[in-house]
A = this chain, B = another copy of it.
């Protein structure tokens, strides 16, 4: 039965399902049961069936799930067919790396612009996109409504840039800066990649191990 309110945990598992299903398709698997899928993903069959049942009935009793169809459903739920537009703000090492190596179009997004304030970077063409001067950011966004901003600027200007893009129609911010943005616009969604949080978590587990062994 379709649910109205989908829990965060379920949403976070959707991309994992997508990856696994892609993987299965690449290996020529065209049907799978929740039991087998659970075994391969380290989840219980119950959880898998419950997760999918939040969005509809994608399986068939006595048969299982058709991989291609399920993959399509998950991809649709994630909005991958919508072709959301993306602009990178801050073309330093990281922003550059994302433009070059992250396959935005593979994931259903369209990289449409990039901005930086360094004159040495402005004008460069990366993946078909010309880096523009940050001074033009506001007006460009105003003229070209853009769904998602990749925020890869130094943390010192992160907050003000975030506010600027939020005030100029951005609907989501993919935040790579190491701060909590705290915008005054609840309609703008912020998704964080906190590198240091992740590494420190890893460090915690090593420290825990060390403590258990020595003290």
Listed in ascending order, the chain A residues whose CB lies under 8 Å from chain B are 11-12, 14-16, 18-20, 41, 77-80, 82, 84, 92-94, 96-98, 100-102, 107-109, 147-148, 171-172, 174, 178-180, 189, 191-210
Q: How far is the CA of A206 from the CA of B205 in the complex (A)?
A: 34
Q: Verify A200–B80 contact, CB threshold 8 A.
A: yes
The interface residues of chain A, by DSSP majority, are classed as helix
Closest CB pairs A-B (n = 8): A79-B207, A93-B97, A15-B197, A191-B202, A15-B200, A94-B97, A79-B203, A189-B205
- Tell me whether A94 and B101 are in contact in the complex, defined as CB-CB below 8 angstroms, given that A172-B202, A203-B79 are known contacts: yes
- Tell me whether A109 and B147 are in contact in the complex, defined as CB-CB below 8 angstroms, given that A79-B207, A207-B77 are known contacts: no
Q: How far is the CA of A206 from the CA of B189 in the complex (A)?
A: 8
Q: How far is the CA of A92 from the CA of B192 in the complex (A)?
A: 23
Q: How far is the CB of A86 from chain B (nearest CB, A)?
A: 9
Q: Note all chain B residues with C-beta closer than 8 A to A102.
A: 195-196
Copies of this subunit: 2
Q: How far is the CA of A198 from the CA of B16 in the complex (A)?
A: 10
Q: Note all chain B residues with C-beta closer than 8 A to A206.
A: 79, 82, 84, 147-148, 171-172, 189
A102-B195, A148-B203, A174-B199 given; 17 more Cβ-contact pairs under 8 Å: A15-B196, A15-B200, A19-B179, A19-B196, A77-B207, A78-B203, A79-B203, A79-B208, A79-B210, A94-B94, A94-B101, A107-B196, A107-B203, A148-B202, A174-B198, A189-B202, A189-B206
